[in-house]
């Protein structure tokens, strides 16, 4: 991280220096008192169930000498606790907002290409694609793991290498206004929307409101900025995303009207996919070593961003070949002659169907789908689950196992097509774990998927531990 002075920090967070030296410098940022290091500035954040002001002393004991806080009583306490230390104590109104404001200031010190990625599904995969493609030409950084919210994204900003030339920021949300906050912080040069599905529809009420929330990524694009969308998604039409016309809209899709035209998708199951992309009379074939036909769209979005930033289609193809699957996202593992498709990170109707497509394309003796509840789907949850059940049954699968309260609708809908002998229902994953060994055998291909709150990775672990 680039060094920041106490004076810079105080100004950026609109704070008051209670005590300390304005010319002192910090070399890192931490919001976790257990991981703080010497030279760090500590931000004690306040959550619904915790107040990290209680752990300022622990941070100081860990070597921290700069604290940005919002409790005067906490400042007085740390002074009494460490009277002989030269501390920098900065008082601000809200430590979370201060963290965000400092991240925005810090990012303004860089001259980098900034790309923001959002969408109902495919955000993380597209982010990783962008990272590997842009790394062919630029010193590139991106969020790690799921650091894509109002706290994780600012922390990502502080991890940028000093020589960064491009930065890829995944932006997550569950309600209106959250993407706007992240876009204000990043002020991307390019925004990407992968698709508009039904994730978080319980909070937002409709897909139209989900579109409105995702379009907040374009709020800070300028006339030189660009919004790239998957035009084959029914809500991501040019008219819907054009805004006031101050930025350029670039589209990908399988129809001839898109700026980047997708064609010739070949699905090799667990061995990945191949697809062609046409742009301005140039045709390039791309190979991905990760499964899923839907990834042709994610790849096309990433390529479109890369070409707009000076990379060639050939360079983009080389970068995509280096992509590796992220853990718990269509990760295929082997055990006792079985193939386990671990897609337990999260779930929505669209991502469920995409995972079922991967199951169908993967070679094996029997195809088994273990599908758990999809959360935050609101009043239409039963219908969405039934839709997934029918889709799995029509794929078809040899055995469908549904897990959770809402997943009973998956089982009921699938049973009407497959017959009850090919469908099992478990109210909890614990009951499934008890029986799973008797239902699977060598040669099976087993898909496991559900919302993160269902913790279906525990079932994956059980299968991987079986002798």
Q: What is the pTM of this model?
A: 0.90
For the chain, list the domains and their CATH numbers: 4-96 (3.40.1390.10), 110-321 (3.40.1190.10), 331-465 (3.90.190.20)
Those residues whose C-beta lies under 8 Å from the C-beta of residue 353, and which sit 6 or more positions away, are 388, 391
Cα separation, 394 vs 92, in Å, equals 58
Cα separation, 406 vs 402, in Å, equals 9
Those residues whose C-beta lies under 8 Å from the C-beta of residue 346, and which sit 6 or more positions away, are 199, 451, 452
Cα separation, 23 vs 157, in Å, equals 23
pLDDT in tens, the chain (467 residues): 999 999 999 999 999 999 999 999 999 999 999 999 999 999 999 998 999 999 999 999 999 999 999 999 999 999 999 999 999 999 999 999 999 999 999 999 999 999 999 999 999 999 999 999 999 999 999 998 778 999 999 999 999 999 999 999 999 998 999 999 999 999 999 999 999 999 889 889 999 999 999 999 999 999 999 999 999 999 999 999 987 778 999 999 998 999 999 999 999 988 999 999 999 999 999 999 999 999 999 999 999 999 999 999 999 999 999 998 666 677 888 988 999 999 998 999 999 999 999 999 999 999 999 999 999 999 999 999 999 999 999 999 999 999 999 999 999 999 999 999 999 999 999 999 999 999 999 999 999 999 999 999 999 999 999 87
SS3 assignment, position 371: strand
Those residues whose C-beta lies under 8 Å from the C-beta of residue 285, and which sit 6 or more positions away, are 264, 274, 275, 276, 317
Those residues whose C-beta lies under 8 Å from the C-beta of residue 190, and which sit 6 or more positions away, are 113, 114, 115, 116, 225, 226, 227, 228, 305, 308, 309
The DSSP-derived string for 57-100 is HHHHHTT--EEEES-HHHHHHHHHH-TTS--EEEE-S-HHHHHH
Q: Which residues of 3-41 are buried (b: 16+ CB within 10 A; e: fewer)?
A: ebebebbbebbebebbebeeebbbebbbbebeebeebbb
Phi, psi (deg, nearest 5) at residue 122: 85, 5
Burial of 167 (0-12, 13-18, 19+ CB in 10 A): buried
Q: How far is CA 434 from CA 34, 265, 431, in A?
A: 37, 40, 5
């Amino acid at each position: 991280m680039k060094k920041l002075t106490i004076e810079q920090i105080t100004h950026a967070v609109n704070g008051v220096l209670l005590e300390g030296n304005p010319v002192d410098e910090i070399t890192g940022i931490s919001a976790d008192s257990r991981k703080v290091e010497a030279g760090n500035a500590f931000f004690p954040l306040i959550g619904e169930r915790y107040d990290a002001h209680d752990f300022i002393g622990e941070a100081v004991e860990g070597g921290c000498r700069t604290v940005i806080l919002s409790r005067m009583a906490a400042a007085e306490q740390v002074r009494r606790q460490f009277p002989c230390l030269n501390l920098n104590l900065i008082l601000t109104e809200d430590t979370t907002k201060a963290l965000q404001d400092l991240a925005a200031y810090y990012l303004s010190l860089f001259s980098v290409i900034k790309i923001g990625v959002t969408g109902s599904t495919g955000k993380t995969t597209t982010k990783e694609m962008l990272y590997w493609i842009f790394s062919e030409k630029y010193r590139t950084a991106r969020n790690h793991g799921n650091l894509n919210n109002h706290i994780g994204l600012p922390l990502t900003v502080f991890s940028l290498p000093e020589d960064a030339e491009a930065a890829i920021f995944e932006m997550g949300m569950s309600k209106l206004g959250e993407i706007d906050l992240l876009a204000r912080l990043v002020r991307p040069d390019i925004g990407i929307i992968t698709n508009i599905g039904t994730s978080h529809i319980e909070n937002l009420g409709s897909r139209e409101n989900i579109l409105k929330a995702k379009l907040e990524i374009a709020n800070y694009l300028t006339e030189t900025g660009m919004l790239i969308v998957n035009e084959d998604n029914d809500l991501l039409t040019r008219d819907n995303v054009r805004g006031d016309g101050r930025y350029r809209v670039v589209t990908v899709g399988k129809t001839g009207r898109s700026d980047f035209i997708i064609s010739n998708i070949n699905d090799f199951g667990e061995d990945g996919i191949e697809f062609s992309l046409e742009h301005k009379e140039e045709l390039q074939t791309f190979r991905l070593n990760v499964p899923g036909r839907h990834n042709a769209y994610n790849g096309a979005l990433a390529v479109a961003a890369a070409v707009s930033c000076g990379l060639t289609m050939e360079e983009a193809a080389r970068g995509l070949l280096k992509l590796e699957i992220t853990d718990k996202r269509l990760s295929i593992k082997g055990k006792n002659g079985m193939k386990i498709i671990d897609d337990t990170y999260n779930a929505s109707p669209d991502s469920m169907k995409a995972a079922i497509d991967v199951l169908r394309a993967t070679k094996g003796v029997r195809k088994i789908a273990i599908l758990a509840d999809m959360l935050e789907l609101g009043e239409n949850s039963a219908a969405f689950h039934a839709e997934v059940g029918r889709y799995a049954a029509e794929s078809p699968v040899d055995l469908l196992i549904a897990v959770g309260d809402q997943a009973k609708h998956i089982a009921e809908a699938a049973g009407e097509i497959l017959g009850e002998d090919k469908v099992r229902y478990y109210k909890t994953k614990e009951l499934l774990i008890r029986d799973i060994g008797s239902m699977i055998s060598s040669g099976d291909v087993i898909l496991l998927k559900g919302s993160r709150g269902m913790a279906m990775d525990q079932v994956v672990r059980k299968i991987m531990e079986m002798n």
